[in-house]
Amino acid sequence: MSNPVISGFHPDPSICRVGDDYYLACSSFEYFPGVPVFHSRDLVRWTQIGNALERPSQLPMTTETHSSGGVYAPTLRYHDGRFWLIVTVVAAGGNVLFTATDPAGPWSDPIPLPDVHGIDPDLAWDDDGTCWCTVAGGAQVRLDPRTGETLGEPQQVWSGTQGALAPEAPHLYKIGDHWYLMIAEGGTERGHAVSVARGPAPDGPFEPCPANPILTHRGTHHPVQNTGHADLVQAPDGSWWMVFLGVRPGGGTPGWHVLGRETFLAPVTWVDGWPVVGEIVDGTPPGSFRDDFDLAELQHGWISLRSRPAELCTTKERAGRLTLRARGASLDERDATFVGRRAQNLRWRARTLIDPAQGRGGLAVRLDERHHYEIEATDGQVQVIARIGSVRTVVAEHAVPAGPLVLTIETEGRQGPGGPCDGPDRLLFGIEGSGVLAGLDGRYLSTEVAGGFTGRVIGMYAAAGSVHFDWFTYEVLMEGT
């Protein structure tokens, strides 16, 4: 199976190059901090260097922000010695712009764009320095990016194949003698595709590529599906590359993807002035991870729900311990205290050492408020809880001695010959030293069941009082184990 170059819930990639360095940003939706930023020298191995939106003033999300709301697709560009990030922040009421001299941060407070309407905004500069902003659906307007003021009225440009669903993710490029407008269309499910048009000027007129769509896996058995929402970059050696999102469905019909939409890479060649997309390049699957919470601040990969108040989440009270204080009564609540990491492998085991003496909390796998599984500890008892849609139930209980204990969750592949209704995996919940307490069908924590735009996130939470965690480990398991 093709490995993405950035695995797990990292959708809507946007990329730029400065010298020999590549930078890439992704959507983050209801999670805080927002818009993870990555660096690479070879387009295959990526390291997260920060999150662009890491202050409440940049990302004012509240419980009014629903799951799969929040921060939509960013565009990341470098122009005139500065990095520019334009993005739709639903929580802030529309499109905003951020700037930085260093993509690792800090990024500026938002520059509002009140007259730029529509999602998936793009930025491009022409030869005389005029900045053009194009949004989903094909509306385009000139923009002063330093003030957020639009110049003139929006104009409609090319919006893809006539009648095609959801023309979105526009990106505008000057390549050679032409301006190219690349978009996604067909919806971000199995019909997803990438199409392109070209014209003599930033505002067209645009003629579509006769080979559109230039990328799609719809109607095929390719292990990577839902391919779309792409961006182009040229390497220092003159070669061209495309980053795009895709999913890896598993199990029976219709196929369930559980890691969310991931970032993939493919080479691009030019034939008769049109881009031709090659085969997907395999990335390197991420390895195991451990955090002993020895640092004063959480590492970049940890994310929380909508906000992360310091009084509810801290590693500063005692070195080597993460303290979480409950805000919501369970993960059913939008204001739940939760700290998690994106699941990035199909087979994994997560463990944490928890001390629930002053509260109640545990280890969870979350898709949204209505789709999550957790193993939860209070002093003297452990429960496995499943929330699937409108149903919430305790599926196992186990008495334990008072004091700290290690909770575990791991995924298990399908067993036996399989069938059309087999889910992609099972999740096993246990206590180290006491074995597995319950196994739950993984399909109910998939996008095909739950809907939305995100993927599984594994993490720790507090549901009552204060809960302390001494360490967290994420271990990659081999397929079939």
To the nearest 10°, the Cα dihedral for 60, 62, 65, 69? 40
Within 10 angstroms of residue 261's Cβ, the number of other Cβ atoms is 30
CA distance 303 to 460: 11
Which residue bears the tokens 């001695």? Answer: 401
Q: Sheet holding 193-199: strands in order across?
A: 168-175, 178-185, 193-199, 207-208
**Residue 425: which residues within 8 A CB-CB, separation 6 or more?**
250, 251, 258, 346, 347, 411, 412, 413, 414, 442
- Note if 12 is an active site residue: yes
For residues 214 and 277, the answer to whether their CB atoms sit within 8 Å is yes
CA distance 466 to 442: 30
Candidates 442, 458, 407, 406; CA nearest to 301 is 458
- Of the residues 54, 168, 425, 448, only one is catalytic, namely 168
**Residue 235: which residues within 8 A CB-CB, separation 6 or more?**
17, 43, 241
CA distance 307 to 55: 9
CA distance 439 to 450: 19
**Residue 171: which residues within 8 A CB-CB, separation 6 or more?**
14, 75, 122, 124, 134, 181, 182, 183, 230, 231, 232
Phi and psi torsions of 449, nearest 5°: -95, -50
State how far the alpha carbon of 401 is from the alpha carbons of 355, 361, 378, 469, in Å. 12, 16, 10, 17
Q: Which residues are catalytic?
A: 12, 168
